[in-house]
Chains A and B, each alone.
Chain A
Amino acid sequence: MTRSTILTIEHISKAFFGVPAVRDVSIDVKEGEILGLIGQNGAGKSTLMNLVGGVVHPDAGSMTFRGKPYAPRRPADANDAGIGFIHQELNLFTNMTIAENVFISGFPRTGFGPFKFIDRAAMKARTRELLDQVGLDTPPDFQIERMSPGERQLVEIAKALYMDASLIIFDEPTTSLTARETEQLFNIMLRLREQGKSMIYISHILNDVLRLADSIAVMRDGQLVTQEARDAFDTRRMISLMVGRSIEQLYPTRTSAPTTTPLLELKGISAAGIVEKVNLTVHRGELVGLFGLMGSGRTELARMIFGLDRTEQGEIRVAGEALKGSSARDSIRSKIAFVTENRREEGLLMNIAIADNVTLVALPEFARTALQILDAGAMREAAREASQALQLKAADISVQPAKSLSGGNQQKVVIAKWLLSQPEVFIMDEPTRGIDVGAKYEIYAIMDRLAAAGSGVLFISSELEELMGTCDRILVMSQGEIVAQFAREAFSDEAILRAAFREHAPLHPHSGETEQSS
């Protein structure tokens, strides 16, 4: 069966500040098909889709949509042309109702001249129809604020349907959805395909892509590796195309062995509705992975260990001593470092010079005199040493602001600033998110060096492969509990994933059929 092409992308390129993000990519999408778009973080998928969505403009190349040249200047142009874009972070106004969100760029109105009022009845009726199409039975004047991430996603789809989009782009839509919500989303996507709509589906979950897509495009380092029919792929081929080399080389070899001296100990940490009786030990010289799906409570637990959020029960010990107080300040004193998932918002001060960022945490160390005046010379020297140790690629660390660095080098700045205060426990929450393969390797090597020097590292990630490639031990978290742990010899992606996905398996062995037997 030959279908006509709805979107053609030809030789498109885009660079940010001289760094190419998309290079000479040509892809086409057929009518009524789902195109799976895969690639590692930083491979250029999102940039490519932002080009299609009119969020950024190409440096070179052209696009054709529905037989006409297509060059969106603004996101609104994409909408008008019939391209709906469902971003990873949703674009809903949480302070408003579903109906208002659907119609925000153009309300149905009645009245004359300047006296045009919103036709609320028409707006609600139309929204009702759209919500029925996506299988959401919430009233149209329900506030977005009170809806779950999955329901919000459905509202986004309803919005795209309202725009009469014939091509809908989904950028990692399932990252914040539960299993049931994901299933519902897939059903709707399949139904839309039956209605002849085209879709581009971006996801890191390769099995989902295999399940939904009719054809698959693989990107690597800003370039298209291949675009072929779905049947030409299996997970193994997808990974090797994405990575471009065999998986073993992605991770440095561990250069040291963990000791048996406990360094960080969590005993029965609980907070109602968030985490439940978490016990966890990180030994000196050990690299412990903490795996869990989105919303499993990993980040929340990390924040509790570092004293950013309160725990209700339990005890945290560092090197045998109970953590006094519960603030980040106390944690820093107890030699805990926290490298956050979101370096842009939490870890780094973007407009401040790199050197100033590096010396931030250890600032009290440089204010030794009675008047607390900072020793600028010592600070400069220390910042230079730390950035050299991490092979930071920057022209001049004392003037260049942090935002001028690439993601990988930004993450190194975050690590460098902690290194200065000589911590023993490193909590790394998704430290490699959004940075390229080479920089990832360097971050892994830094973690290995930290462990070899006797520190303990708790490495939180939702990319199982990187944990398996780097850690001595992996703990699995699900619904706020540690549900399993695996020693390096017992690493198996299947077993670990099964543990993380326990919502598919019977949760409580004593419920259901076993109850009758008792």
Chain B
Amino acid sequence: MKRRTINLRTLLLNNSTIVLFIVLFVYFGIQSPRFLSLESITNIVKQASFTGIIAVGMTFVLLTAGIDLSVGSNMYLSSVVAGLLMRQLGIGVVEGLLVAVAVGTLYGAFNAFVIVRLKIIPFMVTLSTLVIGRGLGTAFTQSQQVDFPQSMLSFGQIQLVGIPMPIIVFALVIAAAWVILTRTQFGRQIYAVGNDPEAAKKAGIRTNWVIARVYIISGFCAGLAGFILISQLGRLDRSFAEGREFDAIAAAVLGGTSLFGGVGNVFGAVLGALLIQMVQLGLVFNNVNLYLQPMIKGVIIFLAIFFDSLRDANMKKLKRRFIRPVETQTPS
């Protein structure tokens, strides 16, 4: 009997994010039935795709026990460059997209260079580039709002068999990331480096190159996510994507990715992004005081991470090494 309850507890804790997701989903649905409509669900997924894409990139970084705080600024800077070129040189949307992605990737490569070559800890490097990136964007625009051509908005409205473009891009990113992480040598080496960098070196893995690539991937995702997000808004201002790094890190961690490296997967990040977005929309649907919303969102993220730490404690208990057999009953 005791064994069963332990298993149920473990099952609940191991899937705490899913459980929390379902509970909140049902709760918001009961409070406001409109929340459960196809339109609103599509909206959640669409809105989640921007955070989701950078959360997938963030997952790569977190798997190596690193962190990328600069993704929000990266989204801003890469979109600024693309927007200015589109307005002033009149390049098209596709070229604009390529520019944004290229700038984002370079941004990530700069992070990678400083981290791997100059051996400065990722937290400080990306905290600095967070400030530098936004500063650079502000200098380019003189802090002015950048308006994109009308073609940008029509690009944003593209649908494929009724599925909005951002969701399709999100799905492609998820699929690619999943294949890279689970089916390629590079992907498996990311897990190895995150688990034990010393052992990875001894196994002949070029750990620096592995680490460099995860920041480049994170930068790529940020450039892509920024541009796709602009295509929904049509313009960007100075505070565009500010604080997105928080959502991305929270989404990845909510999905079970460890900040200490080596543990996590893409679907966790997707689930985390969906949870964050659902909470945000659910609060709007339920007419929760606008000023209270960020706080409630923060509390829910805190709860999810709290359950996650309970799970870790629970796992530790189950994995405890015993020196002698544990007696289930005291001998009579």
Could you tell me if A480 and B196 are in contact, using CB atoms closer than 8 angstroms? no
Known: A93-B262, A96-B191. A109 touches B326 (CB 8 A): no
Could you tell me if A118 and B183 are in contact, using CB atoms closer than 8 angstroms? yes
A273 within 8 A of B: yes
Determine the distance from Cα of A359 to Cα of B202 in the docked complex, in whole angstroms.
Answer: 38
Could you tell me if A94 and B195 are in contact, using CB atoms closer than 8 angstroms? yes
B199's partner among A76, A91, A297 (CB-CB below 8 A) is A91
**Chain A min CB distance to B165 (Å):** 25
A75 within 8 A of B: yes
Could you tell me if B320 and A95 are in contact, using CB atoms closer than 8 angstroms? no
Residue of B nearest to A481 (CB): B324
Could you tell me if B319 and A145 are in contact, using CB atoms closer than 8 angstroms? yes
Residues of B177-214 contacting chain A, CB below 8 A: 179, 183-185, 188-189, 191-192, 194-196, 198-205
Known: A75-B202, A93-B262. A273 touches B179 (CB 8 A): no
B322 within 8 A of A: yes
Known: A55-B202, A91-B199, A118-B183. A96 touches B320 (CB 8 A): no
Known: A116-B184, A118-B184. A92 touches B323 (CB 8 A): no
Could you tell me if B195 and A295 are in contact, using CB atoms closer than 8 angstroms? no
A357 within 8 A of B: no
Determine the distance from Cα of A273 to Cα of B323 in the docked complex, in whole angstroms.
Answer: 6
Please indicate the chain A residues that have their CB under 8 angstroms from the CB of B194 in the complex: 95
Could you tell me if A104 and B195 are in contact, using CB atoms closer than 8 angstroms? no
B327 within 8 A of A: yes
Interface residues of chain A: helix, strand, loop or mixed (majority): loop
A93's partner among B191, B319, B323, B326 (CB-CB below 8 A) is B191
A96's partner among B188, B205, B319 (CB-CB below 8 A) is B188
B192's partner among A74, A93, A273 (CB-CB below 8 A) is A93
Determine the distance from Cα of A301 to Cα of B69 in the docked complex, in whole angstroms.
Answer: 43
Known: A75-B201, A274-B322, A274-B323. A96 touches B195 (CB 8 A): yes
Could you tell me if A95 and B195 are in contact, using CB atoms closer than 8 angstroms? yes
Could you tell me if B199 and A479 are in contact, using CB atoms closer than 8 angstroms? no
Please indicate the chain B residues that have their CB under 8 angstroms from the CB of A107 in the complex: 185, 188
Residues of A104-127 contacting chain B, CB below 8 A: 104-107, 109, 116-118, 120
- Interchain pairs with CB closer than 8 A, number: 85
Could you tell me if B188 and A95 are in contact, using CB atoms closer than 8 angstroms? no
**Chain B min CB distance to A295 (Å):** 6
B191's partner among A95, A295, A479 (CB-CB below 8 A) is A95
Most buried by B among A87, A117, A300: A117
Could you tell me if B203 and A105 are in contact, using CB atoms closer than 8 angstroms? yes
Residue of B nearest to A292 (CB): B323
Please indicate the chain A residues that have their CB under 8 angstroms from the CB of B319 in the complex: 145
Please indicate the chain B residues that have their CB under 8 angstroms from the CB of A481 in the complex: 324
A19 within 8 A of B: no
Please indicate the chain A residues that have their CB under 8 angstroms from the CB of B320 in the complex: 273
A273's partner among B184, B203, B325 (CB-CB below 8 A) is B325
Determine the distance from Cα of A274 to Cα of B179 in the docked complex, in whole angstroms.
Answer: 43
Determine the distance from Cα of A100 to Cα of B200 in the docked complex, in whole angstroms.
Answer: 12
A276 within 8 A of B: yes
Please indicate the chain A residues that have their CB under 8 angstroms from the CB of B203 in the complex: 75-76, 91, 104-105
**Chain B min CB distance to A468 (Å):** 24
A79 within 8 A of B: yes
Residues of B90-141 contacting chain A, CB below 8 A: none
Known: A75-B204, A93-B196. A480 touches B324 (CB 8 A): yes
Could you tell me if B326 and A100 are in contact, using CB atoms closer than 8 angstroms? no
Could you tell me if B202 and A109 are in contact, using CB atoms closer than 8 angstroms? no
Residue of B nearest to A91 (CB): B199
B146 within 8 A of A: no
Residues of B286-332 contacting chain A, CB below 8 A: 319-320, 322-327
B327's partner among A92, A272, A300 (CB-CB below 8 A) is A272
Could you tell me if A106 and B192 are in contact, using CB atoms closer than 8 angstroms? no
Please indicate the chain B residues that have their CB under 8 angstroms from the CB of A276 in the complex: 324
Residues of A336-362 contacting chain B, CB below 8 A: none
A274's partner among B198, B200, B324 (CB-CB below 8 A) is B324
Please indicate the chain B residues that have their CB under 8 angstroms from the CB of A74 in the complex: 204
Determine the distance from Cα of A480 to Cα of B195 in the docked complex, in whole angstroms.
Answer: 31
Could you tell me if A118 and B196 are in contact, using CB atoms closer than 8 angstroms? no
A105's partner among B184, B198, B205 (CB-CB below 8 A) is B205
Please indicate the chain A residues that have their CB under 8 angstroms from the CB of B153 in the complex: none
Residue of B nearest to A298 (CB): B323
Could you tell me if B196 and A91 are in contact, using CB atoms closer than 8 angstroms? yes
Most buried by A among B191, B201, B204, B320: B204
A387 within 8 A of B: no
Please indicate the chain A residues that have their CB under 8 angstroms from the CB of B204 in the complex: 74-76, 79, 105-106
Known: A75-B204, A93-B196, A95-B195. A479 touches B324 (CB 8 A): yes
**Chain B min CB distance to A50 (Å):** 10
Please indicate the chain B residues that have their CB under 8 angstroms from the CB of A79 in the complex: 204
Determine the distance from Cα of A104 to Cα of B179 in the docked complex, in whole angstroms.
Answer: 17
Residues of A whose CB lies within 8 Å of any CB of B are 55, 74-76, 79, 87, 91-96, 100, 104-107, 109, 116-118, 120, 145, 272-276, 295-297, 300, 479-481
Q: List 27 A-B contacts (CB under 8 A).
A: A75-B202, A76-B203, A76-B204, A91-B198, A91-B202, A91-B203, A93-B199, A93-B262, A95-B194, A95-B195, A95-B262, A95-B263, A96-B191, A100-B191, A104-B192, A104-B200, A104-B203, A105-B203, A116-B184, A116-B185, A117-B179, A117-B184, A118-B183, A275-B323, A296-B323, A300-B323, A479-B324
Given A95-B195, A96-B192, A273-B320, 13 new contacts (CB under 8 A)? A75-B204, A76-B204, A94-B195, A96-B195, A105-B203, A117-B184, A118-B188, A145-B319, A273-B322, A274-B324, A275-B323, A295-B323, A479-B323
Q: Which are the 7 A-B pairs with shortest beta-carbon distances?
A: A76-B204, A273-B322, A91-B199, A273-B326, A105-B204, A93-B195, A95-B262
